[in-house]
Structures are given as C-alpha cells and as structure tokens.
Amino acid sequence: MTPLLQQLTGAVQRRWLYHLGGAAARSMTLSMQRIYIVPTYAGLQCALLLLVMLVGALNYNLGLGYALTFLLGSCVLADMVATARNLAGLQLMPLAATPVFAGATAFFPIQLTAAPRRQHYAIWLGFQGDGAPRQHCDAGPSGSTSVLLGAPTTQRGWQPAARIRLVTRFPLGLFRAWSYWQPAQQVLVYPAPESPAAPLPQQASDGHGQSQHDSSGQEHFAGVRNYQPGDAPRQLAWRQIARHAASDTAPLLSKHLTGSAPGRLVFDLATLPAELSLEQQLARLCAWVLAAEAAALPYRLRLGALEIGPDSETGHRTEHGAEHSTAHSQQAACLRALALYGQEQEQEQEQMRKPLQGPQA
C-alpha cells in the first residue's frame, strides 16, 4: 500500500497543491492565494509560552498578565501577516539561459521585481527537487534583482527548468512562508565533445576529397601562424588576437595565405564508423567543430540532408569584425543542430499524435 499511497499523494500535489498556476508561465506575480505558511519550531515555542502566560494570568487574575499576553499574541499575528506579505506581490520572470555542454551545470537566470512601494527581504530560492533553497536575495523598490539557479545536465537537447520554490521567514522567524512557480524556461544542452578528440578528417575543397586549383591568382585563407616581420597589417588575424587580448603574453598572429584554394573540412555524420553509437558520433562531430573553430579552419557540417557552413571565401575572407560574427554564428548553428539532431522530428510526430488521442481522464 505504501507505493500506491505515494502515487496518490504525488497526484494530489501535482493537480492541486503545487499546480495553482496551470502550465508553465512566462512571468508571474505571487498572490496571497499562492502562498503557504506554517509556524516554525520557534513559533511553536512562542505559542506554548503564550499559553503558559495566559494560564498564569487566569490563575492569579492578573490584569497586566492579560495585557502582556494579548500584546505578544498580537505581535505574533502581525508577524504572520508580514511574513506572508514578504512574498506577496513579488514578480518573477525567467531570462534567457546560456547553452552548455552535456555534463556541465546549466544556470537558469530568474529576475525578481518588487511590488510598487514594497521591499522583500531574506528570500531563498531553489529548485524543488534540490531540497532546501540555497540562493538568497533581497528585492527592493529601486530595481530588479537577478538570481542564478544551477541544475546538472546529463543529455543533449532542450532541458526545461524544474519547479522553483521560494521560502522566507522574515521578519521574526516565527513563521515559514513558501510558494511554488513553474517557469516557462529551458536551456539548450550541446553534446559533450569527445575526449580525447579524434584527429580531424582530411581536407577536401569540393566536399568529395578532390583538391581544386585556383587560377584566378587570388590568395586564400589557409590558417593562422605566428607573426613574422614584414607581414602586412591586413594579414593580421584579428579574431585570434582578440581571444587572447586579456593576457599580457598574448601572441601576435597572422593569416596564412596561399595562392590555391584551401581544402575545406567536411564533417559528415554518414562517414563516421558504424560501431559508434549516435551519441558518440555526435560527440566526435562536436569536438571537430570546436577544433576547427579554434584553428580558424573552413569547414562544413553534414547531418543527413542538413548541411551547415558558408563558402570559405565568404565565411573567412572578411574584415576581422564581420569574420568573427560569421564564424561565431556558424559554430552556434552547428552546435545547435548537433544538440537537436533526431529530436525535432520526434517532437513533430508527438504533436501529430496528440489530436488523435482522446481527452485525458
């Protein structure tokens, strides 16, 4: 009977106790109807003390005893209202989460805005499944406050944020008020890159392993090298220099230009060894994309019918600012495609099956 009782308790919590707001919300303002409050251990001790004082005043018919007991009792009731109002009116809004690689900690930023002409102190936040909240913040009328809630990641794809619990014992600690919120927030989890990474595949300028000669006489980007005296200013690799700008020993790098078209790396999922699982293949492609970006090598990514990667001339032979933006967008597009490979089709099929299903009991 114990497992059945646990299932019934969980169903009641999901349908009624913790599900006051319906589906996940983009933003929410806490109201009194969403706040739960119970006395703490100190509050129970205070109630017992008031009861002893009341019995003593009745026994000895002490007028001042009545006055002191009722005065302290009214203070306790005022503390209960103040504790609940410390959460009431607080506006919660999720912010965009930064993508991470599988196995790393994903951080969900939450913005808290105080009610007009109100201040909220000593608020603790955390995901419901993590136990007691560990993030502390205060929200004043001067502006908004942001809090980062971390959650571990295990697999690639979209990971939604779990239900958030807000707890406060302000001002006297005699009562504990809390509320729940399910934010409409998710983070994109990239596949973890293979470690140690396999060597990059051989370059091919036409995508089929054949090198083509360029007779136009133009120079083409073929990588980076250390700066040599006599290199023209236009030949400096600004993108790689900017990566190490914060270091005092930042190297000065130059673009390596050749008179023939450079080979383009092609990362094709279909050409990977069949003994590797799908997740291992995606991890290898992820490592190759990061390695090619670090070495500023032109590349293309093929995932079945999907192909990502601009032409080497348009994607790399630009000014340093536009070059950095183009390369960064290509890397982000490749990592996103690797993270969502095979999952978007499953979501579409699930959406197509939903209208065919009857209403849930």
Say how far apart CA 6 and CA 228 lie, in whole Å. Answer: 71
Q: Is 262 found in the same domain as 142?
A: no
| pLDDT of 316 strictly over 50 | no
CB 298 within 8 A of CB 264: yes
| pLDDT of 11 strictly over 80 | no
206 or 220, higher pLDDT: 220
What is the per-residue pLDDT for 140? Answer: 83
Would you say residue 9 lies in a domain? no
The mean pLDDT value for 87-116 works out to 94
The overall pTM is greater than 0.75: no
Would you say residue 209 lies in a domain? no
What is the per-residue pLDDT for 263? Answer: 57
Q: Using 50, 70 and 90 to split pLDDT, how confident is the model at 31?
A: very high
Backbone angles phi, psi at 190, to 5 degrees: -80, 155
The mean pLDDT value for 48-73 works out to 94
The mean pLDDT value for 27-46 works out to 94
Least confident of 11-15, 275-279, 307-311: 11-15
**Helix 320-340 vs helix 278-294: crossing angle, to nearest 10:** 170
> H or E stretch including 166?
strand 164-168
CB 333 within 8 A of CB 307: no
Q: Is 164 found in the same domain as 255?
A: no
Residue that is last in its domain, among 141, 174, 190: 190
What is the per-residue pLDDT for 239? Answer: 72
What is the per-residue pLDDT for 359? Answer: 39
The mean pLDDT value for 265-272 works out to 91
| pLDDT of 41 strictly over 90 | yes
157 or 213, higher pLDDT: 157
Q: Which residues contact 121 (CB under 8 A, 6 or more apart)?
A: 86, 138, 168, 170, 171
Q: Using 50, 70 and 90 to split pLDDT, how confident is the model at 350?
A: low
What is the domain extent for residue 119?
Answer: 26-190
Q: Structural domain tally of the chain?
A: 2
Say how far apart CA 280 and CA 271 lie, in whole Å. Answer: 13
Would you say residue 85 lies in a domain? yes
The dihedral through the CA atoms of 235, 238, 239, 245 has a sign that is positive
Q: Which of 117, 133, 122, 123 is nearest to 92 (CA)?
A: 123
Q: Is 249 found in the same domain as 181?
A: no
Q: Is 151 found in the same domain as 276?
A: no
Q: Using 50, 70 and 90 to split pLDDT, how confident is the model at 356?
A: very low
Q: Is 332 found in the same domain as 285?
A: yes
Q: Is 303 found in the same domain as 252?
A: yes
